[in-house]
Amino acid sequence: MSTRRAHDTHSTLALEVYQPKPDILYSLDVAAHIAGVPRRSILIYCRSGLVRSVSQPPYGVMAFTEEAIHTVRKIEHVRTMHSPDLALLKTMFDLLEEVECLRAELRFLRQH
């Protein structure tokens, strides 16, 4: 019986692969709530180029994709753990994005 409980505990701790839904947009307030950060933080990240918003016509209201919210969470994690300045964060996330692009290109080339 204890083996079963241990197995049940492990199954609830499994990581889920993050799959953003591209067609869902969130307002600044909702994005801040979901990411667990103040609105001001998201605005600072947008201004520094770390996060991109999508403006919704006709009023140009800022909206954010799930991917942008995920990026905010990653930024906050790095800031909490290492306290880098915004310039270093920008460089680091640019490099991570480039690595992802190169990995995708490599996967494509290996398939063909």
CATH assignment, 22-111: 1.10.1660.10
* pTM of the complete model beyond 0.85: no
Q: Which residues contact 87 (CB under 8 A, 6 or more apart)?
A: 48
Predicted pLDDT of residue 23:
80
Predicted pLDDT of residue 2:
46
Average pLDDT score over the chain: 83
pLDDT one-digit tens code per residue, 67-98: 999 999 999 998 888 887 888 888 988 898 89
Q: Residue 4: is its pLDDT beyond 70?
A: no
Q: Is 99 exposed, middle or buried (0-12, 13-18, 19+ CB in 10 A)?
A: exposed
The answer to whether the Cα torsion of 68, 73, 77, 83 is positive or negative is: positive
Could you tell me the residue ranges of all domains in the chain?
22-111
